[in-house]
Structure 1
Amino acid sequence: MHHTENPLPPLISHAAPSGSATEIIGKLDSLPSSAFTIDFYSNVAVDGSGYGEGETFLGSMSLSNGDSQTFIFALPNAVTPGEYITAIAHEVGTDNSSEFSAAVQVVHCTPPPTFDSAISIVGSDVQLSWSSPDSTDFYVFRSANDPYFTSSESYDETTASVWHDPDANELGDAATNYYYYVRGTDGCASAPGQTVGEFDFALTPGTP
């Protein structure tokens, strides 16, 4: 689908060093029916407007849609704390691009602990649960037939420590297995918790 309006810029909420990388937490709340590429840049100083600019290109990520899509993305470049991160959203398949995002300073922070979740089937729903402090927000990541999670976009977010998959079709399809993990955020993000999954099997009756 082609849109005549330009997409809204990404909203970066946090940027922090993470080993030899820089981890970005943000959201794209733009055109829901379109896929996007997000380009990230570093800047030694902030533009006078508070937005942009793009002094040094850092890398890109893909989002399958722009409908309030949250992401936690590890840039392969280590950005010096005190510098600033900006981003631009490009609608895939068009010439439409957003303006620069607001600049966010790279700061050190102490991530929350890793949250390992337990998976269970409750009624016809997948349920995840984990132990957590009350002050942490959580992002649930889900993939279909991809246990290595090549995408950095989150599937859902919650402040509770028990979560039900809102998808009514996640069970009963032998061709599609779903994998999940949870990350907590309290300023910066925790490491990914252990991956859990649900698996459906097609049974072929044998000959008596």
Structure 2
Amino acid sequence: MWDNFINGFMGQITPQVWQLIGLSTYETIYMSFAATVFAIAFGLPLGIWTFLTQQNQALASPKINRVLEAIINIGRSIPFIILLFDLMPVTRFLVGTTLGTTASIIPLGVAAMPFFARLTSNALGDIPSGLTETAKAMGTTVWQLVTKFYLPEALPMLIKATTLTLVTLIGYSAMAGAVGGGGLGNTAISYGLHRNMPYVLWVATIILVLIVMICERYGNKLADHFDHR
């Protein structure tokens, strides 16, 4: 039994395949981290604005808040595989192609943006109201309130939100690989399924699980480091 397993494994996982898996691992990490940066760059301001326009907050505006909430909720409701195809014209316009790892960053980032915005809004909402009242009593501006009080206080929760977003995007990146997005998902499908190489599929799956575990472990450690409560 073990001889059959070893022979089958060595027959499929050749040095050339290991090189391909290594490149695919790099592509997955590149896609996931770049898309996370994209999601934070646009999702953080959206989440802050959504929170600030809630009732009893610094920029309270029910109408604006309803619009922002609708944007976040609609964005989170669209399945990623559908969004991937919907954004193909935009991706082609921005990148010049809809295939490859760089092209996948656009739909990945757009998919994660409302998700991170919701996590940001929730994180700011968990800040004790007493801190807000103290800051307002000191005569702080909205910008000072956000940068000097809200963001530092919510930093541990925002780091955990970033970790959760990154882990989610690692899973999405494998889905993007199904339509030519590159990465471990593309390798698993192209070789593991289409070429009937199950060991490649299992190796790609194990690497994806390890990447997720490492991101969660060190993301939570970083959040605990900044949590002084």
TM class, shorter-length: under 0.3
Q: Which has the larger radius of gyration?
A: 2
Structure 1 or 2: more strand by fraction:
1
Using CA pairs below 8 Å that are at least 6 residues apart, which structure has the higher relative contact order?
A: 2
How does the TM-score come out when normalised to structure 2? 0.20
